[in-house]
């Protein structure tokens, strides 16, 4: 059965804005993005909203729904009471462009700072080989759809604009971890992760993991392992000594 | 000047959070329970008495290396000159282990320092440097506390085994206190071995699982414990306090230990 959904949507741009109240007819089985589209089609033709796949795979429709960072296309209306007012705002960490659309270029700039993979030479037969068990470890990180909800919810930059210069954010720590675990990569990015990407600023409060729509264990499987690898490189005298007098890390520090 | 979620350029929304759920519940409960534990543990650690009721030794005082009551020092008394409570000699290690634990860090950053109190809820601080500076950068030595915590867990296991002796030292005894110590040490091991530093040490630091099948297997097992690290952190916190309380109640004669056999 359909009903009239009470919706509050932030409307505005960089010069200012406010929450506008709307009533939108919705049907059973719909998601928040359906309601936003109906609002756009029937009442607010100039409402700016970024979306693409409607299947939780493109990462375009990131927003904050009742204050929680979520994908609009993956947030079912049935999760809320019919009498409840649903508030939709743009993500609050990045500069707003208009209405629900923000400028997420911060994330692309940070991505440029991660040195790309540099593989070992090929085997004599011209191939490179990785065992399945080694491939699987990094596959979890490849599920990232770059919705940037983790970047948005991370309080290091969300609550401290001044930290954006020195902090890359969870999405990029995922990348650092994936490459550091790569069996064929020849770059050692541990020092870079700490000194340039600001891994030490993360206080592992796990909000990135909580909001990840792909269910990636960002903190447990990427950030903490990366922190431990940085400890190996920078803070643990025994491991450091072992790397000097024992078997050296064959990778080149970048 | 505006800062945080109200920084210039961002969507101008007056409320610091628009969350309507009970986001405050987790930090409030965590703060309350941790404070209760801190108060109780401080009292018991400094008390210096009523920590041994043969054959049970409180986990707060194990190993008892100071000037301890007769029968409680299974590893001698190398710190017999120590003027304060014997608990203070060893408690620093499990305390340091938990204080630098990745799960506890999340818990106390959220509930004590409100940094942040919950996801999507603005923190009250105007400056933030995380764990990049002193003193929080010291959390990076967590692995050393892990090594110490393993030794403590070994000693607690030894205590649990000794609890199968009766008060006169004869084997073949089991009382409710034995069960309490055994459950406690199982939870302590589950928490200790599920530690993120342990996970890293046994195999996480590798780049080729395929070349180290035994370490990969160990990593897989530790990962299973690690997935429930928070649960074991809480359960072992309760169990260690309850084990101490049980021994304390026996020591002051509040009741006698129910004996199974």
The dihedrals phi and psi of A249, each to the nearest 5 degrees, come to -70, 120
Cross-chain CB nearest to B207 (options A69, A183, A231): A183
Answer whether A17 sits within 8 Å of B12, measured CB to CB. yes
- Write out pLDDT tens, residues B176-211: 999 999 999 999 999 999 999 999 999 999 999 999
Would you state the pLDDT for residue A90?
A: 98
Closest C-alpha among B214, B167, B159 to residue B185: B159
Q: What is the DSSP string of B104-141?
A: HHHHHHHHTS-SSSSTTS--S-S---TTSSTTGGGGGG
Q: Tokens 């936003």 belong to which residue?
A: A36
The dihedrals phi and psi of A188, each to the nearest 5 degrees, come to -105, 110
A206 near B CB under 8 A: yes
Per the prediction, chain B carries an average pLDDT of: 96
Would you state the pLDDT for residue A246?
A: 78
Q: Cα distance from B32 to chain A (closest Cα, Å)? A: 18
Residue stretches of chain A with pLDDT short of 50: none
- Write out pLDDT tens, residues B71-128: 899 999 999 999 999 999 999 999 999 999 999 999 999 999 999 999 999 999 999 9
Cross-chain CB nearest to B12 (options A16, A181, A229): A16
Helix (H/G/I), strand (E/B), else coil: B175: strand
| Interface mutation vs chain B, best among A105, A159, A188, A209, most B CBs within 10 Å | A159
| Interface mutation vs chain B, best among A13, A99, A155, most B CBs within 10 Å | A155
Give pTM, 2 decimals: 0.95
Closest C-alpha among B15, B2, B12, B3 to residue A102: B12
Inter-residue contact B225 to B232 (CB < 8 Å): yes
Residues in chain A with CB shorter than 8 Å from the CB of B136 are 203
Q: What is the DSSP string of A50-63?
A: ----SSSSS---EE
B226 near A CB under 8 A: yes
Would you state the pLDDT for residue B39?
A: 98
Residues in chain B: 261
Q: Which of residues 123-182 of B touch A (CB under 8 A)?
A: 123, 125, 127-132, 136-137, 140-143
In this model, does residue B161 exceed pLDDT 80? yes
**DSSP state for residue A185 in the 8-state scheme:** B
- Write out pLDDT tens, residues A26-84: 999 999 999 999 999 999 999 999 999 999 999 999 999 999 999 999 999 999 999 99
Cα angle A89, A149, A53; round to 5: 85
Answer whether A158 sits within 8 Å of B4, measured CB to CB. yes
Longest dimension (CA), chain A: 72
How far apart are alpha carbons B249 and A72 in whole angstroms? 56
- Write out pLDDT tens, residues A110-123: 999 999 999 999 99
Residues in chain A with CB shorter than 8 Å from the CB of B122 are 155, 158-159
How far apart are alpha carbons A88 and A38 in whole angstroms? 14
In this model, does residue B50 exceed pLDDT 60? yes
How far apart are alpha carbons B181 and B203 in whole angstroms? 31
How far apart are alpha carbons B178 and B170 in whole angstroms? 14
Q: Tokens 């959904």 belong to which residue?
A: A5
β-sheet bridge partners, residue A7: A22, A86
Answer whether A155 sits within 8 Å of B128, measured CB to CB. yes
Helix (H/G/I), strand (E/B), else coil: B45: helix
In this model, does residue B1 exceed pLDDT 80? no
């Amino acid at each position: 059965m359909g009903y009239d959904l009470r919706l509050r949507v932030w409307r505005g741009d960089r010069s200012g804005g406010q929450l506008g109240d709307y009533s939108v007819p919705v049907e059973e089985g719909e998601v928040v993005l359906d309601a936003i589209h109906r609002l756009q089609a029937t009442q607010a033709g100039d409402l700016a909203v970024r979306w693409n796949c409607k299947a939780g795979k493109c990462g375009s429709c990131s927003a904050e729904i009742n204050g929680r960072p979520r994908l609009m296309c993956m947030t079912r209306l049935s999760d809320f009471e019919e009498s409840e007012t649903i508030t939709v705002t743009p993500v609050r960490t990045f500069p707003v462009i208009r209405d629900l659309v923000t400028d997420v270029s911060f994330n692309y700039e940070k991505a440029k700072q991660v040195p790309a993979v540099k593989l070992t030479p090929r085997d004599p037969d011209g191939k490179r080989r990785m065992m399945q068990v080694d491939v699987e470890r990094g596959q979890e990180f490849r599920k990232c759809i770059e919705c940037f909800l983790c970047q948005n919810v991370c309080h290091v930059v969300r609550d401290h604009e001044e930290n954006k210069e020195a902090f890359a954010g969870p999405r990029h720590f995922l990348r650092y971890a994936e490459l550091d675990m790569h069996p064929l990569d020849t770059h050692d990015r541990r020092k870079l992760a700490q000194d340039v990407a600001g891994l030490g600023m993360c206080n592992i409060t796990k909000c990135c993991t909580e909001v990840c729509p792909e269910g990636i264990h960002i903190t447990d499987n990427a950030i903490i392992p990366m922190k431990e690898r940085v400890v190996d490189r920078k803070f643990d005298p025994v491991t450091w000594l072992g790397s000097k007098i024992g078997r050296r890390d064959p990778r080149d520090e970048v | 000047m505006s800062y945080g979620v109200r920084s210039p350029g961002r969507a101008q929304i007056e409320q610091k959070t628009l969350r309507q759920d009970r986001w405050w519940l987790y930090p409030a409960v965590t703060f309350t329970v941790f404070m209760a534990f801190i108060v109780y543990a401080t009292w018991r650690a400094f008390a210096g008495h009523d920590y041994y009721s043969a054959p049970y030794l409180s986990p707060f005082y194990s190993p008892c290396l100071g000037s301890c009551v007769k029968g409680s020092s299974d590893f001698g008394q190398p710190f017999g000159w120590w003027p304060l409570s014997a608990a203070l000699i060893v408690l620093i290690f499990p305390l340091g282990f938990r204080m630098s634990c990745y799960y506890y860090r999340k818990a106390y950053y959220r509930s004590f320092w409100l940094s942040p109190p919950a996801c999507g809820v603005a923190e009250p601080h105007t400056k933030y440097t995380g764990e990049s500076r002193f003193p929080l950068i010291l959390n990076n030595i967590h692995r050393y506390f892990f090594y110490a915590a393993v030794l403590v867990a070994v000693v607690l296991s030894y205590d649990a085994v000794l609890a199968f002796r009766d008060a006169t030292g004869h084997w073949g005894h089991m009382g409710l206190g034995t069960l309490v110590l055994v459950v406690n040490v199982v939870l302590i091991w589950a928490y200790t071995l599920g530690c993120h530093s342990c996970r890293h040490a046994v195999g996480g630091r590798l780049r080729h699982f395929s070349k180290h099948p035994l370490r990969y297997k160990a990593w897989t097992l530790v990962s299973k414990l690690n997935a429930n690290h928070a649960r074991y952190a809480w359960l072992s916190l309760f169990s260690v306090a309850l084990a101490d309380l049980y021994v304390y109640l026996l020591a002051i004669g509040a009741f006698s230990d129910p004996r199974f056999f």
